[in-house]
Amino acid sequence: MTTTTERQPLNGVDTPTLFATLDAVREQPELARFQFRATNKWVSGTHNRSTMHTYYGAGQELEHKDATVVDADHPPVLVGNDNGPAPVEYVLAALAACLTSGLANIAAARGIELTEVESSVKGDIDLLGILGLSAGVRNGYEHIQVDFKIKGDAPEEKLREIVEQSRDRSAVYDVITNPVPVTLNVIAG
């Protein structure tokens, strides 16, 4: 474990650029305004396909070097054709990914070298809600359990703190644990 003032690339994180970016945003806070996007096309039945490509941020229209296309479907037991994970599964993957991306940055900023990070996310859901069979059951997850294994050159307590700090600064964790207003607009016919 190096000092917290260490600013060399670590864990694959370009920490000098990370700190420079933080300084730039501090000077010009409007650079922090982002818009992320996904588009979706219905294929057949419960099978559909999403694309993630363009976004806005740092004052400009941007795009990922590659468009990412993912399929979703309901599983056979829910009368789908299993052409991809269920939509709710992507939420769990997003949570694991957000916490992991964040903790890599935080570890690098603190000069801690990571050797291994794995996680599993489990979401319990009672489908009586979405099936409209019980008014008292919510549509979404009742509870989500996240389990992390993290290894690196710091005491256990410091490694645990990194994961907790990542949770405290996680966009997806916030979206799941707190309400986000959603507006729905439909053009029909």
Measured CA to CA, the distance from residue 24 to residue 4 in angstroms comes to 20
CB of 102 to a second copy, least distance (A): 7
User: Per rule CB under 8 A, is residue 4 in the interface with a second copy?
Assistant: no
Torsion of CA 54, 96, 24, 178, to 10 degrees: 90
Tokens found for residue 39: 């588009």
User: Per rule CB under 8 A, is residue 136 in the interface with a second copy?
Assistant: no
User: Per rule CB under 8 A, is residue 186 in the interface with a second copy?
Assistant: yes
Phi first, then psi, for residue 102 (nearest 5°) are -65, -45
Site string for a second copy, 71-100 (x = CB under 8 A): xxxxx-xxxxxx-xxxxxxxxxxxxxxx-x
CB of 3 to a second copy, least distance (A): 20
Which of positions 16-75 make contact with a second copy (CB under 8 A)? 17-18, 21-22, 25-26, 29, 32-48, 50, 52, 55, 57-58, 62, 64-65, 68, 70-75
User: Per rule CB under 8 A, is residue 138 in the interface with a second copy?
Assistant: yes
- Asked whether 54 and 75 are in contact (CB, 8 A), the reply is no
Measured CA to CA, the distance from residue 17 to residue 160 in angstroms comes to 25
